[in-house]
A and B are shown apart, each in its own frame.
Chain A
Amino acid sequence: MIVFVTLLPIGFLVFTSFTNYNQRTLFTGAFDVVGFDQYAAVLADEDFWLSLIRTILFTAALVVGSVAIGAGMSHLMTRLPSSLRHVTTVVLILAWAMPNVASSIVWSWLFQPQYGVINWMLTQLHVFGDMTSRDWASDPVLAWVCIWLLVVWGAVPFIALTLYAAETQVAVELKEAARLDGASEWNVYRVVVLPSIAPTILLVTMLSIIWDFNVFNQIWLISEGGPDGATSTLGVFTYTTAFSGNLQIGAGSAIAVASTIILAALSAVYIRHLVRSGEDL
């Protein structure tokens, strides 16, 4: 069944990436095997490289942002009175539970140019001047900021709760001993806590790379990759190539295969770890 639902489609994807499958084919069933032509075309396409660069930069910004905030929050949670810690946990789960389709449209409303509450708040700050009619989604940089906030907002809860679970496993005696030796709080964190939770940090970082590389809904629902392709990542580029305009499915497949390979290369550490742990499964 696994073979049927996943391997077969993957095989089919690789196959279509070697064909000129397009809109016409959907009606007539006719297509030609064109070998590596689609790949040559994709690699020669400036949009592909721009999407790739955008995807990598965006993934890096998201991973750094969400892991840093998540780690900070998890450490903070260990130092909170328990009532406040429970409140924080509930808030985290609430944010985590929000379906990203719903949070994306909530974001559009928060950042709505005229009546959005974010523009109002920024105007009240009197730092950025009058923001009341700023349209975030149609400015290339602001659209990124908006999507970044959305994805990080949704990603932090999992990271914070996972790291918090790991941090509670660190022996209190170790921290106490370090404190008695006169270590500052920062040094206790850096020397005692960080090494103990390093494997978990590595895990959430790898998972974040994989998830953030594949972020699609949030981008699609906020900006559809616009304005003018400025927020188009590989996922969005694959989708628009294969499913809009004249449905260049062959080309879309080639992009999808290429992005999968790139992602696999980026997460090689994780894959190697999986394969190795597979030895004692």
Chain B
Amino acid sequence: MTTRTRRLRRRPWISSTIAVVFCIVWAFPVYWMVNTAFKPRAEMLSTTPHFFPEAPTLENFFTAIGRGQFLVYLQNSVIVVAGAVVFAIVLGIFAAAALSRFRFRGRRPILVLILIVQMLPGTALLIPQFLIFNSMGLLGTYWGLIFAYVASVLPFSIWVMRGFFLAIPIEIDEAARIDGASTWQVLTRVLFPLVMPGIVSSSVFAFIAAWNDYIVAFTFMKDQASYTLPVWLNSFTVSVGGDMGTDYGGQMAAATLFSLPVVVFFMIIQRNLVTGMSAGAVKG
């Protein structure tokens, strides 16, 4: 008998039962979000909950998209997130290359600093950014948000990509040099293609961080037309005079639409998730 089967023979049903209960509890909120999103209003506002939509409908998705200027907010989110990802990756890859391939004064303090910066409370960076962007006239603009997101994801991108650079043996650089490549060519022709998986992982992380941000966008973008999707998502909540004005069906449909790309990306990079997260001590 192998170790494995023997281990399983020991009261396997207890472990399995706990696991099943855990899965139900942990999956429940997501299930409930999707379930509500497909329910007609009458089923949603019922004192006895319906565990499956009896008359599934896309109505909530249409009201959600019809609320405010969904396409404008989507466009805002896409522009800002794409800008942040591109800047963070381009700056990050050169910084990571420098920090892994060259020895220079101040290298070690910079590395420690990168890790410590991750610990700063989000609200601590928010205040100075607000003031600086205010004086530069960047509040309420795409650039303001892009800079703020780059500031929060860049340290992590550098850290992750540096890990990938370190994994490439220095002999590869040397071989390329002997073949007559310049430093620039070594970087762009040899090293960058090799760190592609690192670029993909850190882009996804940067995407998720920027896509999910609520508070920076909420604070900087006061004009309705410049809302991003998370701000739009929360705009369904009506807190004045109880929450009866909140359209929960529409909101759950909106939340489903909003979460979908993130879930897809998570599934894509799931293999790198754990190593990337613990290696980089990323912000939550």
**A→B interface (CB under 8 Å):** 1-2, 5-10, 12-13, 16, 21, 26, 29, 73, 76-77, 79-81, 84-85, 87-88, 91-103, 105-110, 112-115, 117, 120, 132, 153, 155-158, 161-162, 165, 172, 176, 185, 200, 203-204, 207, 210-211, 213-217, 220-221, 224, 234-235, 238-239, 242-243, 249, 252-253, 256-257, 259-260, 263-264, 267, 271, 274-275, 278-279, 281
A214, A260, A279 — most chain B CB neighbours (10 Å): A214
* Chain B proximity of A244: nearest CB distance (Å): 10
- In the complex, whether B86 has a CB less than 8 A from a CB of chain A is no
Q: Which residues of A contact B278 (CB under 8 A)?
A: 162, 200, 203-204, 207
On whether the beta carbons of A2 and B95 are closer than 8 Å, the reply is yes
Question: Is the contact region of chain A dominated by helix, strand, or loop, or is it mixed?
Answer: helix
Q: Give B18's nearest chain A residue, CB to CB.
A: A76
On whether the beta carbons of A105 and B233 are closer than 8 Å, the reply is yes
**B→A interface (CB under 8 Å):** 3, 7-8, 10, 12, 15-16, 18-20, 22-23, 26-27, 29-30, 32-33, 36, 44-49, 91, 95, 107-132, 134-135, 147, 150-151, 154-155, 158, 208, 211-212, 214-215, 219, 230, 233-234, 236-237, 239, 243, 248, 251-252, 255, 258-259, 262-263, 265-267, 270, 273-275, 277-278, 281, 283-284
A267, B237: Cα distance in complex, Å: 36
On whether the beta carbons of B23 and A91 are closer than 8 Å, the reply is yes
A29, A87, A95 — most chain B CB neighbours (10 Å): A95
8 A-B residue contacts at CB 8 Å? A6-B117, A81-B16, A102-B233, A112-B243, A216-B123, A221-B237, A259-B124, A264-B119
On whether the beta carbons of A99 and B132 are closer than 8 Å, the reply is no
On whether the beta carbons of B147 and A5 are closer than 8 Å, the reply is yes
* Chain A proximity of B130: nearest CB distance (Å): 8
* Chain A proximity of B42: nearest CB distance (Å): 11
Which one, A107, A115, A204, A207, contacts B29 given CB within 8 A? Answer: A107
- Known contacts A105-B234, A260-B120; is-contact A6 B259 (Cβ 8 Å): no
On whether the beta carbons of B147 and A93 are closer than 8 Å, the reply is no
Going nearest first, the 5 A-B pairs with the smallest beta carbon separation are A97-B266, A211-B284, A9-B128, A5-B151, A12-B128
Q: Which residues of A contact B46 (CB under 8 A)?
A: 115
A193, B70: Cα distance in complex, Å: 51
On whether the beta carbons of B219 and A94 are closer than 8 Å, the reply is no
Q: Which residues of A contact B281 (CB under 8 A)?
A: 207
Q: Which residues of B contact A263 (CB under 8 A)?
A: 119, 121
A164, B52: Cα distance in complex, Å: 33
Q: Which residues of B contact A238 (CB under 8 A)?
A: 121, 123-124, 127
* Chain A proximity of B175: nearest CB distance (Å): 25
On whether the beta carbons of A94 and B8 are closer than 8 Å, the reply is no
Which one, B110, B125, B134, B212, contacts A99 given CB within 8 A? Answer: B212
- Known contacts A120-B48, A211-B283; is-contact A98 B214 (Cβ 8 Å): no
Given A10-B120, A98-B259, A274-B112, 14 additional A-B pairs, CB 8 A: A2-B155, A76-B18, A91-B22, A92-B26, A97-B259, A99-B211, A117-B49, A213-B121, A215-B284, A216-B215, A243-B130, A260-B120, A267-B119, A278-B115
Q: Give A78's nearest chain B residue, CB to CB.
A: B7
On whether the beta carbons of A220 and B215 are closer than 8 Å, the reply is yes
Q: Which residues of B contact A211 (CB under 8 A)?
A: 283-284
* Chain B proximity of A261: nearest CB distance (Å): 11
Q: Which residues of A contact B124 (CB under 8 A)?
A: 10, 13, 238, 256-257, 259-260
Q: Which residues of B contact A203 (CB under 8 A)?
A: 278
On whether the beta carbons of B263 and A94 are closer than 8 Å, the reply is yes
On whether the beta carbons of A271 and B45 are closer than 8 Å, the reply is no
* Chain A proximity of B95: nearest CB distance (Å): 7
Q: Which residues of B contact A215 (CB under 8 A)?
A: 284
On whether the beta carbons of B8 and A161 are closer than 8 Å, the reply is no
Q: Which residues of A contact B134 (CB under 8 A)?
A: 26
On whether the beta carbons of B16 and A80 are closer than 8 Å, the reply is yes
Q: Which residues of A contact B274 (CB under 8 A)?
A: 158, 161-162, 165
* Chain A proximity of B38: nearest CB distance (Å): 14
On whether the beta carbons of B154 and A235 are closer than 8 Å, the reply is no
- Known contacts A97-B266, A112-B248, A238-B124; is-contact A274 B29 (Cβ 8 Å): no
A242, B128: Cα distance in complex, Å: 11
Which one, A2, A108, A172, contacts B110 given CB within 8 A? Answer: A2
Q: Which residues of A contact B121 (CB under 8 A)?
A: 213-214, 216, 234-235, 238, 256, 259-260, 263
